[in-house]
Structure 1
Amino acid sequence: MFKNIVIISIVLFCSIGYSQTKQNVKYVFLFIGDGMGLNQIYTTEMYLNAKTGEIKAEKLLMNSFPVSSNMTNYSANSFVTTSCAAATAMSSGFKTNNGIIGKSPDQEIAYENISEKVKKAGLKVGILSSVTIDHATPASFYAHQNSRNMYYEISMELPNYNIDYFGGGGFHSPKGKNGDQPDAYVNAVKKGYTIANSHEEFNKLKHGDEKIIAINPDMYPSGEFYWAIDKKEEALTLADFTKKGIEVMDNDKGFFMMVEGGKIDWACHGNDGVTMIHEVLAFNDAVRVAYEFYKERPDETLIIVTADHETGSLYTGINYEMNPELLKYQKTSVQEFKRKMTELKDANPEVSFDSILDLIQVDFGLGNSEVGLSLDGNELDMLKLAYSKQFKENNKVNADANYLSINTVKSISETAAYILNKKAGISWGSGDHSATPVPVKVIGYGQGEFSEGFDNTDLSKKIQKLMGV
Structure 2
Amino acid sequence: MLKTIKNIVIISMALFCFIGYSQTETKAKYVFLFIGDGMGASQIYTAEMYLNAKPGEIKVEPLLMNSFPVRTNMTNYSASSYVTTSCAAATAMSTGLKTNNGIIGKSPNQKIDYENISQKAKKAGFKVGILSSVMIDHATPASFYAHQNSRDMYYEISMELPNYNIDYFGGGGFHYPEGENGGQPNSYENAIKKGYTIANSHEEINKLKHGDEKIIAINPDMYPSGEFYWAIDKNEEALTLADFTKKGIEVMDNDKGFFMMVEGGKIDWACHGNDGVTMIHEVLALNEAVRVAYEFYKERPDETLIIVTADHETGSLYPGINYAMNPELLKYQKISVQEFKRKMTDLKNTNPEVSFNTLSDLIQEDFGLGNSEIGLTLDKDELSMLKLAYNAQFKKNNAVDADADYLDKNDVNSIAETAAYILNKKAGISWGSGDHSGTPVPVKVIGKGQEEFSEYFDNTDLPKKIQKLMGI
State if a TM-score over 0.5 links the two structures: yes
Q: Secondary structure at the match of 1:322?
A: coil
Amino acid of the structure 2 residue aligned with 1:321: A
Match of 1:254 in 2: 257
- Displacement of 1:344 in angstroms is 0.5
Match of 2:469 in 1: 466
Indicate which of 106, 112, 115 corresponds to 1:112: 115
Match of 1:421 in 2: 424
Residues of 1 paired with 2:23 and 2:236: CA distance? 50
Residues of 1 paired with 2:237 and 2:184: CA distance? 32
Amino acid of the structure 2 residue aligned with 1:303: I
Amino acid of the structure 1 residue aligned with 2:211: G
Residues of 1 paired with 2:279 and 2:201: CA distance? 27
Match of 1:294 in 2: 297
Match of 1:214 in 2: 217
Indicate which of 364, 367, 371 corresponds to 1:364: 367
- Displacement of 1:296 in angstroms is 0.6
How many residues align structurally? 469
Match of 1:146 in 2: 149
Gaps of 5+ in 1: none
Indicate which of 92, 95, 100 corresponds to 2:98: 95
- Displacement of 1:15 in angstroms is 4.2
Q: Secondary structure at the match of 1:48?
A: helix
* 1:130 pairs with 2:133: yes
Q: Secondary structure at the match of 2:437?
A: coil
Residues of 2 paired with 1:152 and 1:9: CA distance? 59
Q: Secondary structure at the match of 2:198?
A: strand
Computed over aligned residues only, the root mean square deviation of the Cα atoms, in angstroms, reads 1.2
Amino acid of the structure 2 residue aligned with 1:21: T
Match of 1:355 in 2: 358
Amino acid of the structure 2 residue aligned with 1:219: M
Match of 1:405 in 2: 408
Residues of 1 paired with 2:16 and 2:210: CA distance? 41
1:79-121 CA-partner distances (Å, limit 9, x unpaired): 0000000000000000000000000000011000000000001
350-359 or 417-426: which moved more? 350-359
Match of 1:86 in 2: 89
Residues of 1 paired with 2:409 and 2:8: CA distance? 72
* 1:373 pairs with 2:376: yes
Match of 1:453 in 2: 456
Amino acid of the structure 1 residue aligned with 2:327: P
Residues of 2 paired with 1:59 and 1:15: CA distance? 41
Q: Secondary structure at the match of 1:159?
A: helix
- Displacement of 1:18 in angstroms is 3.4
Match of 2:346 in 1: 343
Residues of 2 paired with 1:18 and 1:209: CA distance? 34
Residues of 2 paired with 1:127 and 1:269: CA distance? 24
Residues of 2 paired with 1:143 and 1:291: CA distance? 29
1:307-360 CA-partner distances (Å, limit 9, x unpaired): 000000000110110000000000000000000001111111111111111100
Match of 1:441 in 2: 444
Gaps of 5+ in 2: none
- Displacement of 1:165 in angstroms is 0.2
Q: Secondary structure at the match of 1:128?
A: strand
- Displacement of 1:16 in angstroms is 2.2
1:387-436 CA-partner distances (Å, limit 9, x unpaired): 11111111100000000011111000000000000000001000000000
Indicate which of 431, 438, 447 corresponds to 2:434: 431
Residues of 2 paired with 1:14 and 1:456: CA distance? 36
Q: Secondary structure at the match of 2:170?
A: strand
Q: Secondary structure at the match of 1:126?
A: strand
Amino acid of the structure 1 residue aligned with 2:341: K
* 1:228 pairs with 2:231: yes
Aligned runs of 1:176-195 on 2, under 5 Å?
176-195=179-198
Indicate which of 392, 397, 414 corresponds to 2:395: 392
- Displacement of 1:248 in angstroms is 0.3
Match of 2:324 in 1: 321
Match of 1:175 in 2: 178
Kept in 1: contact 2:26–2:302 (CA 8 A): no
1:56-92 CA-partner distances (Å, limit 9, x unpaired): 1121100111110010000001000000000000000
Residues of 1 paired with 2:297 and 2:280: CA distance? 25
Residues of 2 paired with 1:10 and 1:46: CA distance? 57
Residues of 2 paired with 1:384 and 1:151: CA distance? 40
Amino acid of the structure 2 residue aligned with 1:253: K
- Displacement of 1:20 in angstroms is 1.6
Q: Secondary structure at the match of 1:413?
A: helix
Q: Secondary structure at the match of 2:349?
A: helix
Residues of 2 paired with 1:245 and 1:18: CA distance? 32
TM-score of the two chains, using structure 2 as the length reference = 0.98
Residues of 2 paired with 1:315 and 1:66: CA distance? 25
Residues of 1 paired with 2:23 and 2:149: CA distance? 42
Residues of 2 paired with 1:114 and 1:136: CA distance? 16
Residues of 1 paired with 2:215 and 2:273: CA distance? 33
Residues of 1 paired with 2:177 and 2:145: CA distance? 17
Match of 2:35 in 1: 32
Residues of 2 paired with 1:94 and 1:14: CA distance? 37
452-461 or 20-29: which moved more? 20-29
1:203-252 CA-partner distances (Å, limit 9, x unpaired): 00000000000000000000000000000001000000000000000001
Kept in 1: contact 2:131–2:244 (CA 8 A): yes
Match of 1:43 in 2: 46
Residues of 1 paired with 2:305 and 2:343: CA distance? 43
Match of 2:21 in 1: 18
Amino acid of the structure 1 residue aligned with 2:171: G
Residues of 2 paired with 1:26 and 1:128: CA distance? 19
